[in-house]
Structure 1
Amino acid sequence: MHHVGAISTQQHGVDFAGGMFSLGQLRPDFFFVLSGFIITWVHGRSLGAGVKAGAFLRGRFLRLYPLLFILTSVKVVIILALGGWRWKEQALDASTLVSSYLLVPTGQYPVLLAAWTMPYEALFYIIFAIVGIHGSARTLTWTAVAWSLGVVTFHAILPGQADSPPWRFVFSPYHLQIFAGVLTCLHFRHWQGRKGGRILLLASGCLILAGMYGHQTLSSLPRLMTRCWWAAAFCGLIAGAALEECRGSLAGKRPPCWISFLARSSYSTYLVHGPALVIMLAFCSRWHLLEPANKDTVLLACATLAVSAGILCHLVIEKPLLKRLLPKPVVDGGKT
């Protein structure tokens, strides 16, 4: 919903639902915290089991790269057929292709713009495998703490270098958010069975509401402080929800099949929905379907079709591909 509003406003001058989905811009903050939490939760029993580090990386990278290669190649072919591509004065050059295919942080956006988060994920997988699975939970904890302190220290001492490569990536606040999710999960194991989930949910809810209503003030603060605010809010939200799930009526139960399916198809949806929206909105604009009287209905239909395109990509491309590449079914479905 956020993307359909952002694309329609930026490219066609048409707002969606009065901008009520503008807070969807917080999705990376939530995603990074959730990613750190889920990876640590699912693979927590492998911490310290060094022989499993290679299998972990193989499984994660087989989920990450093959589909990315295919979809990036499709878009590159389309770009070349249309005569070129520029994004914020960025051309389709070697640096862009390296960033797009290998997820190496060159300072350029990938041609699949949604994949800008993936270099952070790829580095996290490597760190988790080396210091967590090949090392130990304690090593992972101290690495997360040390890197997070490094991010805070760098932004405090050298704020002017925060947007200069390679420091923009190495000391990005997004690493801090991932490690916040990791540390929350590692401590969550000691909280299981205890009360306090509702208190955490209430506290995180207050932080989220305060951030929403004080959005302009929060946005004026240094970027690191903003990222820390949302990291604290989402860590509390995720930990509180997990505590309530473990203690409540859902304890030990599997999620409904449709939720598991959406989780498995989330990576395809994440990569496909943006280009699909761009194409559909260009079509709608050309045929004057974005008139004020019916624009919200048309934009909602475009959002639905974009998600459907992602699900179709999962069924037709990603699922058969993973079935061929992965030796066993993977239990932790989803983009993370």
Structure 2
Amino acid sequence: MRLSAAPERAPHPGRLPSLSGTRVPAAILVFGFHMQIAGLYAKGSTADAASAGLFEHGTMRVSFFFLLSGFVLSWAARPGESKRRAWRKRAARVFPNHAVTAVVALAGAAGASAAAGAGSLRVVLPGLFLVQSWVPDQKVYFGLNTVSWSLSCEAFFYLVFPFVLSAVDRLDPRRLWPAAIALMGVVWSLPVLTSGWSQPLAYWFIYVFPPVRALEFVLGVLMAQIVRKGRWVRLPVWVPTVTVVAVYLGVGYLPVRIGYVAAALVPLVLLVPALAQADLDGRRWIWAHPRMVWLGELTFAFYLVHQLVIRFALKLLHVPPTGTVGWGTAHSATVELTALAAAFGAALLLHRVVELPLNDRLRGR
């Protein structure tokens, strides 16, 4: 494999539509994961087995989004931009949607939270200020709008991003790959490091704790610089894609702590820059189709609303917490697809009414 001949860092790099489009299947996987937890299909049925096979490991998408976040922020960073300006842009992007969905969860319009004690200040305040993932208590980090635990991680990533980018920019291009490999090694060492810990504590540390998840974010920054500075290897997109699918289907056979993050890390680290390089070379995949890119722009809002929609739907249909086995497969599938459409509809509303106008206003446009 040879190195690409990409130029040195440019102030305004090209658009990477495939990276927006690939957010869509990742978002659907996590939606399917949360629907699968609801247990709509009869236990032991073919439909239940198929749902588990397709969606049981949908949380792997979190690694993809963390890597993608680091890559995209690094790719789009403007030379000489002040830290205050960078932080203001990130806050304008995140907090309007977060504030609205947190209030909806708090009001109980969608069943509030699955965690007990969701209305207590101990749960509400960390969730509102996006510091809940720093607390090793599931009732806290999964409180309010449960999925916003990852937004708590992203808030930390955005805070440290200017310093990370400055450090990576100063690296000799020949050291970018060694640095990335070293970080991947650290992630793979975490299951060993936590081998004597209790399962809840190890889960929080490996999967939820922001500084640990920042390793993936920094890997995304490094991979963007590898592409930008001409150090990327010409790896066909299908190679990491097939590997990601294989890991996704087989991760259930691995030790659980390896499955949290480490198992899929290497193929995901390779997939993101491979897609970016394909865009730069003009080799468009289905993910670069304008409709996929448009849907990809909705995925941030979709992620924040989808579990609220699921809880509201299950409450409306009087589904018990353990799920129902009284429905047929067609009925359960119809409920699932309807909830998916409703989640995208709610995401579109949030995107148009809250995210876009407030983002522009808070950024001073």
TM-score range, shorter chain: 0.7 to 0.9
Give yes or no for contact 1:96–1:106 (8 Å, CA) kept in 2. no
Asked whether 1:92 is paired with 2:119, we answer yes
Give yes or no for contact 1:188–1:239 (8 Å, CA) kept in 2. yes
Asked whether 1:323 is paired with 2:360, we answer yes
Out of 335, 338, 353, the residue aligned to residue 298 of structure 1 is 335
Query: Number of residues paired by the alignment?
Result: 311
Deviation readout 1:14-52 (Å, 9 max, x if unpaired):
266731531423211211111111111111x43xx3x52
Aligned pairs for 1:56-135 (under 5 A) are 56-78=86-108, 87-104=114-131, 105-107=134-136, 108=140, 109-133=142-166
How far apart in 1 are the matches of 2:74 and 2:270?
16
Q: Share of identical aligned residues, percent?
A: 21
Out of 211, 214, 217, the residue aligned to residue 175 of structure 1 is 214
Which residue number corresponds to residue 197 of structure 1? 235
Asked whether 1:261 is paired with 2:294, we answer yes
- Which of structure 1's runs of 4+ aligned residues deviate more than 6 A? 139-150
Give yes or no for contact 2:113–2:145 (8 Å, CA) kept in 1. no
Q: Structure 1 pair 8/229, CA: closer, same or farther in 2 (3 Å)?
A: closer
Q: Structure 1 pair 158/2, CA: closer, same or farther in 2 (3 Å)?
A: closer
Q: TM-score, normalised by structure 2?
A: 0.71
Which residue number corresponds to residue 39 of structure 1? 73
Q: Structure 1 pair 160/93, CA: closer, same or farther in 2 (3 Å)?
A: farther
Give yes or no for contact 1:63–1:322 (8 Å, CA) kept in 2. yes
Q: Which has the higher contact order (CA 8 A, sep 6+)?
A: 2
Tell me the secondary structure at the aligned position of residue 248 of structure 1.
coil
Which residue number corresponds to residue 170 of structure 2? 138
Tell me the secondary structure at the aligned position of residue 155 of structure 2.
helix
Which residue number corresponds to residue 12 of structure 2? none
Where does the alignment leave 5 or more consecutive residues of structure 2 unmatched? 1-27
Where does the alignment leave 5 or more consecutive residues of structure 1 unmatched? 329-336
Asked whether 1:222 is paired with 2:257, we answer yes
Give yes or no for contact 1:173–1:227 (8 Å, CA) kept in 2. no
Deviation readout 1:64-113 (Å, 9 max, x if unpaired):
1132122212321227x98xx66344442222112211111233123111
- 1:56 CA drift (Å): 0.6
Superposed CA RMSD in Å reads 3.7
Give yes or no for contact 1:132–1:139 (8 Å, CA) kept in 2. no
Q: TM-score, normalised by structure 1?
A: 0.76
- 1:264 CA drift (Å): 3.3
Which residue number corresponds to residue 231 of structure 1? 265
